[in-house]
Amino acid sequence: MDNETLARLVTFVGRNIVENLKFIPEDKWDWKPGPDAKSASEILNHVLGLYETFNSAFGGRPFAAVVDIPEAKAAILQATEDYARHVRTATPEKLEEAIEIVPGSVVPLKTIVSMAVIDICHHHGQLAYLQTLWSDNELHFDRGAFSLLQ
């Protein structure tokens, strides 16, 4: 997949996560369906930690942990917009650079670029599933973000 498509996808999913956050009640932000499950807060902080790692491969800045939904909305938009910008401007030479994403695991940056899109889609699904546990069975999409997919 080309860089522009990946950048558009990550921006689309980031905006959809923000839309879904509008439907998470404040009292459910730290709620877990089971003791070993993740809350919406933990899922979002995990995503932001991953995007800090992904963006740092391009020289991006670190993110602080978010403690509430308004902070999460702003941080996820910033993280995905930064990432899309990095992906759009990456040279072919940059994408071939070997990056140690986790200790002992070295992959080309081009692999990380696609992993970031797959990962955020996965976590978007986790948030949507939590919403169904609260009896919210509507699909929440940022309708304006659909233009990113054209």
Give tens-digit pLDDT for 42-87.
999 999 998 888 888 888 877 788 999 999 999 999 999 999 999 9
* CATH no., domain 3-32+41-149: 1.20.120.450
Q: Alpha-carbon distance 96 to 91, whole Å?
A: 9
Average pLDDT, the chain: 91
Phi and psi based region of residue 87 (left: phi greater than 0; alpha: psi -120 to 50; beta: remaining): alpha
Query: For residue 86, what pLDDT is reported?
Result: 93
pTM, two decimals, is: 0.90
**Cα 140 from chain centre:** 16
